[in-house]
Structure 1
Amino acid sequence: MVTVRRSIWHEPRPAGARPVGRLDWLLVGMFVAAALVEGIVRPDVAWRPLVSVLALALIPALLWRRSRPLTAALVGWGVAGLLSVLQLTTHAGDLGLYSMIAVPILLYSLVRWGSGREIVLGTAFVAVVVVLGMFASSATWADVFGGTVLLLLFVALAVVFRYRADLWHRRQREIRNQERVALARELHDTVAHHVSAIAVQAQAGGVVAGVQPEKAVEVLAAIESEASRTLEEMRSMVRVLREEDAVACSPQRGVADLLALARADATPTVEVSLNGSLTRLARPVDATIYRLAQESLTNAVRHARSATRVGIDVRREGDAVRLRVSDDGRTEPGPAPEPGFGLLGMAERAQLLGGSLSAGPAPEGGWVVEAVLPVETPT
């Protein structure tokens, strides 16, 4: 119980409170008009001028109900308490106006928008005012029960909307975290791909430097271009990762961008083949195909021994799309090695979309990565 009290006491104000807008001013105007009309047409209200002035004094507190909920509740319920004291000391009749329904609204706003400390202090004050009012009006047990149920209804509604909004904000944070994880994976894939390409070009430059110096200059220019592209992509992704709020991310690459991976002027050469209707894939499938192909290409460039060619083939097969990345590298005899974290992550991506991924040595030599994904993501 002590832990619960401490957690409530230290609970911060909920996020997402809107500033004062036209609807708030309209609400205040309606209550002001109602209070003025009641002050004129209800002769049964005792101390009518004073009660009308007090009612008009508390109504502007509605404008603070989200920004300063405790202050607004203290003002509104303070006026209600003052009327109860006046009724108790003067033995006057009914001192309430129907427009005083604004006071329970302030209780709702206190629980909906207040911090834990404000809720505890404010509801304690409200409880004292309610008890005083019931005593001053000599309320019957039926009145006590009805009034208590009404106030608890306002509190319950506030709690429901408060924690519903809290769940929504938590869900938004989870979505942003998932987006950051996806961006971090893309950052890894991008850097690994480009650095592997730079390493291959640097090795080629070392070979031709002594024989064809002019070719070495071309290789250095290609390395510079690749490094600049890598830095640009890294900076854009890191900028997004640093953002605290949700941001509009740049469009993810897809199957159409695979053609940019093809190259014929380096070893190994990369050949890309796209077959079938690949323009209406679901966005997650489209992006996953590109990332799987890119990472498979990176692995082939890094690890395929004596490879001269890497083939990337994507084809539509009914309601599925098949990706096949193969190389002609030399494989060691014996059992296939255990899959590393990269392959496990690729298989996990495919499984999340309802697909599958396999990787291993090909019968004719080399290494093959094959993935099959549904065209539409599962619902």
Structure 2
Amino acid sequence: MTVLALALVPALLWRRGHPLMTALAGWSVAGLLSVFQLTAHAGDLGLYSMMAVLILLYSLVRWGSGREMVLGTAFVAVVVALGIYASSAGRADAFGGSVLLLLFVALAAVFRYRADLWHRQQREIRNRERVALARELHDTVAHHVSAIAVQAQAGGVVAGLQPEKAAEVLAAIESEASRTLAEMRSMVRVLREEEAVAYSPQRGVADLPALARAGVTPTVEVALYGSLSRLALPVDTALYRLAQESLTNAVRHARGATRVRIDVRREGDAVRLRVSDDGQTGPGPAPEPGFGLQGMAERAQLLGGSFCAGPGPEGGWVVEAVLPVEA
């Protein structure tokens, strides 16, 4: 009997990939041993010789599907009942054996639940990362594409009035397109590579002056006030992204705007960002709905700050965000 029980050991190799098949095979052998014991009136064979079937029962509950668990546990219950009857076990032995089997089932269920919980947490983390990356892609691509569109519109006018400056416009469009592709490739590499990859650092408040521009319409002015050099990295990055997205919206949607101003001011333990333009307010074609304002509000709220956007008291459109220095 021990040799027959040892023949089940190879089934342990396939218990994860085929939990139902291996459990049925193992417990079928246990059932045959019970039938042999019943017909031959043999003595107690001993549970120690069939420990492999307990491992197969554990594997069935741990890795089997719902249907496999129902079919497998029903078959095991029949085999166990047959074994108890064949061995003429008393109530104490029958109760002890049943408790042992239930212990293996409960142990497998606990580990299955913990594994499912871990996978759900990983999926939630990946979902949060995808939302964050989607926001970053939107902020980056929308800003650069808007700049390309403005340069292209200006190029159409310049080409007719000052053909010699058309090359400068085309060079600016090429530069913006190259920067857009480079930043998109960096994010895609982060998504595709399992190991850490080197990509350009996140931009912050110190990079805001690069958004300023003169000689085009609308002009962009950037002003920084107070100590802004020791901000938490998430806050520093968020301020740049909020300013960048606000500038993009002003360039795309502000009617007749000639100037956009970006002000960042340190106020105690908080930093205030204000982006305003002098565009026209009132009735007019509504801009296409997008995720810009929603993304900016979510970004500010995640850092424990506040966000508001609307018409300014002196006309134009004003975006204000207040973020804590320490996120």
Change (3 A) 1:265 1:103: farther
Q: 1:253 aligns with which of 202, 212, 215?
A: 202
Query: SS at 1:94's partner residue?
Result: coil
Q: What SS class does the counterpart of residue 216 from structure 2 fall into? A: coil
- For residues 200 and 48 of structure 2, the distance between their equivalents in structure 1, rounded to whole angstroms, comes to 56
- SS of 1:207 mapped into structure 2: helix
Residues 355-366 of structure 1: pairs in structure 2 closer than 5 A: 355-363=305-313, 365-366=315-316
1:263 aligns with: 213
**Which residue in 2 is equivalent to 1:72?**
22
Q: TM-score, normalised by structure 1?
A: 0.72
Report if the CA contact (8 A) 2:59-2:108 is conserved: yes
Alpha carbons of structure 1 residues 280 and 353: separation in structure 2 relative to 1, 3 Å: closer
Deviations 1:336-375 (A, max 9, x none): x99x764344224322332111223444554321101223
Q: 1:350 aligned to 2:300? A: yes
Match of 1:84? 34
- Equivalence map 1:285-300=2 (5 Å): 285-300=235-250
Match of 2:8 in 1: 58
What's the offset of the Cα at 1:298? 0.6
Change over 3 Å in CA distance of 1:369–1:246 after alignment to 2 = farther
Cα gap change, 1:162 to 1:235, in 2 (>3 Å): same
Q: Within 5 Å, which residues of 2 pair with 1:39-58? A: 50-51=1-2, 53-58=3-8
Q: What letter corresponds to residue 152 of structure 2 in structure 1?
A: A
Are 2:38 and 1:110 aligned? no
Q: For structure 1, which runs of at least 5 residues remain unmatched after alignment?
A: 1-49
TM-superposed CA distance for 1:231, in Å, is 4.1
Q: Separation in 2 of the partners of 1:362 and 1:272?
A: 18
Provide, for residues 237-280 of structure 1, a one-character-per-residue CA deviation record: whole Å limited to 9, x for no partner.
57878x7x988686773425434433345333334345424444
CA distance in 1, matches of 2:112, 2:304: 36
State which drifts further: 258-267 or 221-230: 258-267
Who is 2:84 aligned against?
134
1:281 and 2:236 matched = no
How far 1:135 sits from its partner (Å)?
0.9
Normalised by the size of structure 2, how large is the TM-score? 0.82
Letter in 2 for 1:253: Q
Name 1:214's counterpart in structure 2: 164
SS of equivalent residue, structure 2 residue 308: strand
Q: Does 1:156 align with 2:112?
A: no
SS of equivalent to 1:290 = helix
- Which residue of 140, 163, 176 maps to 1:190? 140
Is the CA contact 2:151–2:173 (under 8 Å) kept in the aligned structure 1?
Answer: yes
CA distance in 1, matches of 2:52, 2:312: 76
Secondary structure in 2 matching 1:210:
helix
Question: In the aligned structure 2, how far is the partner of 1:77 from the partner of 1:252?
Answer: 59
Contact 1:192 1:298 in 2 (8 A): yes
- Given that 1:176 and 1:246 are in contact with CA atoms closer than 8 Å, whether structure 2 keeps it comes out as no
Q: Gapped runs of 5+ residues in structure 2?
A: none
1:261 and 1:272 in contact (8 A); partners too: yes
Kept in 1: contact 2:227–2:266 (CA 8 A): yes
Q: Tell whether the 8 Å contact from 1:355 to 1:373 is kept in structure 2 after alignment.
A: yes
Given that residues 231 and 326 in structure 2 are in contact (C-alpha distance below 8 angstroms), is that contact kept between their aligned partners in structure 1? no
**How far did 1:195 drift?**
2.3
Q: Which digits, 9 at most, give the CA deviation of each residue in 1:72-93, with x for residues without a partner?
A: 3233323322332232223222
CA contact (8 A) 2:258 2:279 kept: no
State the SS of the aligned residue for 2:246.
helix
Sequence identity of aligned pairs in percent? 78
Q: Are 1:375 and 2:288 counterparts?
A: no
1:225 maps onto 2:225 in alignment: no
Residues of 1 paired with 2:200 and 2:95: CA distance?
59
Instruction: Give 2:128's aligned residue.
Output: 178
Q: 1:124 aligns with which of 74, 79, 83?
A: 74
* C-alpha distance in 2 between matches for 1:314 and 1:63: 64
